[in-house]
Structure 1
Amino acid sequence: MIQQHTASRKKALAAILLLILLAGICIAAGQWQLRRAHDRETIRAARLAGQQAPPLTLTTQTPDGPDWRRASAQGQWLNPLTVLLDNRNLKGRPGLWVATPLALQDDPGAAVLVLRGWVARPMPPATLPDLRAVDGPVQVQGTLLHHVPRLLDLGNLTGDTPAGLPRPFPPADGALLRVQNLDLDALAAASGLRLLPVVLEQAPTQDAGLIQEWPGPSDNASQNYNYAGQWFSFAAIALIAAAVILWRTRRKPAASSESDAS
């Protein structure tokens, strides 16, 4: 009889420990969701602040501004330095972003990288359309960012990351370079340009048939709060279950003693 009680208590203790561990994991997951919610609220506030700020004209004298601020730049397109960003889908359709530096009017040695728009990926044997921007002075309207939006790159996970853009750049055969992600420092090193520390997402316009629909950052925090509530609920259920098992375990010896006494 004593051995049965001992085995039962060990099983109960193991169950209690597992439930407490499960509750700890759920609480940690809930806290992570709260941090994600706070991050998204911060992004939303920064985005609204940038959108409400007065438009900025980019020059070498005013080369920077907050993310999501409306901005414009005057200059000439550097078509030979166009780069294609691969695996950029639009409404489920595979495609590419077209990025071209714009030499600034006030200093042609300086430039700002412009994300000009999206083009569908052609299925062989079809080829890309002519993506050259117009020649001559232009004014580009858009939204500021401090980097080209990135996609997951398996090279970053394995440590096998390229040192920069391939040389020579632009390629001698005139082919457009296609990459997964584009870093401003790498583009500046390969091209010799003095790039502004921002990227301009071009506003909707007529430009080589490109589509200017840019994915914004995910700033809906309510979903994260809902997930956090669910995780905390799971933790509460696990702790209540542990408390019930503990109560039954402590009550059982007392009940057994009364039965033996009778």
Structure 2
Amino acid sequence: MVRPHSTARTLAALLLLAIAVFVLASLGRWQLHRAAERLAILQTIESGRAQAPLVLTPATPPAQLQPWRPAQASGRYRDDLTVVLDNRNRDGLPGYWIATPLLLDDSNPPSAVLVLRGWMPRAAPGQPAAVAPPAPVASQSVTGELVERVPRLFEIWHFGNDPEDGLPKRLPVDGGKPPTVQNLDLTAYAGATGLRLLPAVLEQRGEVGDTLKRDWPQPSVDFNQNRGYALQWFGFATIAGIAFLVVAWRALRRRREP
């Protein structure tokens, strides 16, 4: 026995299909937006690495501090101003990044660039706590790549708070032990140390005779993956749109039948 036609059910089906088309198409557009963002990041990386190496000085114009540009700085480390960045994983292992300022001159206050010196693993349970290797005392020539800030980890417990993330108000701290923080904001760090920091961070690369690892993570730039996802969502939206037209056409045909 054929069930009688229900106008309410037809309208409900059309409404749901229309919502599905809108939601699925919106997801496709969002994936295209993410693809554009990743493509822009890739172009920024390639553009920076194509630049000639930059020699950092206190007078380096901020416009030349292009992210991913090779750079070199000479000066002395202030090891007493070292900061340890927690929860920085490498190859699935928990560990820390070590950040130390490199003084570029002897002015008062001195100019400096913050150097991410490398990664060290966290001590295994039951083992003594890991200790950051001291920075060299002698004047150094440090090479690496520029990034605009210390890469930040999202912390829900710090959401909406200031960017200091536990950084002491003044550095160095008593006792000489480097503070351990989750994230490090350049403005907050400059205020705590009194240094005149360049508005960029130097990720040190190459081997310098210590135990730190320097294969720094890079942002995901697989924009083709997002484009593939967008194609899938648009395909689902097309199917839902066809279903909408079929249901609407059948409803219209029933209305025209005697």
Q: Could you say whether these structures have the same fold, taking a TM-score greater than 0.5 normalized by the shorter chain as the test?
A: yes
Contact kept, 8 Å, 1:116 with 1:207, in 2: the verdict is: no
- Alignment of structure 1 residues 199-218 onto 2, 5 Å: 199-218=201-220
1:32 aligned counterpart, secondary structure: helix
What does residue 24 of structure 1 align with? 22
Q: Which moved more, 1:103-112 or 1:217-226?
A: 103-112
Give CA deviations for 1:40-83 in whole Å, capped at 9, x if unaligned.
Answer: 11111111111010000000121542100000000001101111
- Alignment of structure 1 residues 55-134 onto 2, 5 Å: 55-64=53-62, 65-105=65-105, 107=107, 109-123=110-124, 124-134=126-136
What does residue 229 of structure 2 align with? 227
2:87 aligned counterpart, secondary structure: coil
Tell me if 1:171 matches 2:169: no
Q: Which moved more, 1:122-131 or 1:220-229?
A: 122-131
Task: Say which of 248, 251, 256 aligns to 1:246.
Answer: 248
Give CA deviations for 1:98-120 in whole Å, capped at 9, x if unaligned.
Answer: 00000114757111000000000
Give the whole-Å Cα distance in 1 for the aligned partners of 2:7 and 2:206. 70
Consecutive unaligned residues of structure 2, counting only runs of 5 or more, are none
Contact kept, 8 Å, 1:133 with 1:207, in 2: the verdict is: no
Q: Name the larger-Rg structure.
A: 1
Q: CA deviation at 1:144?
A: 0.5
Q: Which amino acid aligns with 2:225?
A: Q
Contact kept, 8 Å, 1:40 with 1:220, in 2: the verdict is: yes
Paired residues in the alignment total 251
- RMSD, aligned CA: 1.8
Q: TM-score, normalised by structure 2?
A: 0.91
Contact kept, 8 Å, 2:98 with 2:132, in 1: the verdict is: no
Q: CA deviation at 1:207?
A: 4.8
Contact kept, 8 Å, 1:72 with 1:141, in 2: the verdict is: yes
1:172 aligned counterpart, secondary structure: coil
Q: CA deviation at 1:247?
A: 1.4
Q: TM-score, normalised by structure 1?
A: 0.90
Q: Which moved more, 1:160-169 or 1:223-232?
A: 160-169
2:123 aligned counterpart, secondary structure: coil
Contact kept, 8 Å, 2:170 with 2:193, in 1: the verdict is: no
Give the whole-Å Cα distance in 2 for the aligned partners of 1:82 and 1:208. 16
Q: Which amino acid aligns with 1:118?
A: W
Residues 166 and 201 of structure 1: is their aligned pair in 2 closer, same or farther, counting only changes over 3 Å? Answer: same
Contact kept, 8 Å, 1:96 with 1:118, in 2: the verdict is: yes
Give the whole-Å Cα distance in 1 for the aligned partners of 2:238 and 2:106. 63
Give the whole-Å Cα distance in 2 for the aligned partners of 1:217 and 1:75. 29
Give the whole-Å Cα distance in 2 for the aligned partners of 1:207 and 1:117. 12
Contact kept, 8 Å, 1:130 with 1:208, in 2: the verdict is: no
Task: Say which of 22, 44, 47 aligns to 2:45.
Answer: 47
More helix by share: 1
Q: Which amino acid aligns with 1:236?
A: T
Q: Which amino acid aligns with 1:191?
A: T
Residues 47 and 83 of structure 1: is their aligned pair in 2 closer, same or farther, counting only changes over 3 Å? Answer: same
Give the fraction of aligned pairs with identical amino acids, expressed as a percent: 44
Q: CA deviation at 1:167?
A: 3.2
What does residue 156 of structure 2 align with? 154
Q: Which moved more, 1:246-255 or 1:112-121?
A: 246-255
Q: CA deviation at 1:125?
A: 3.3
Give the whole-Å Cα distance in 1 for the aligned partners of 2:164 and 2:154. 17
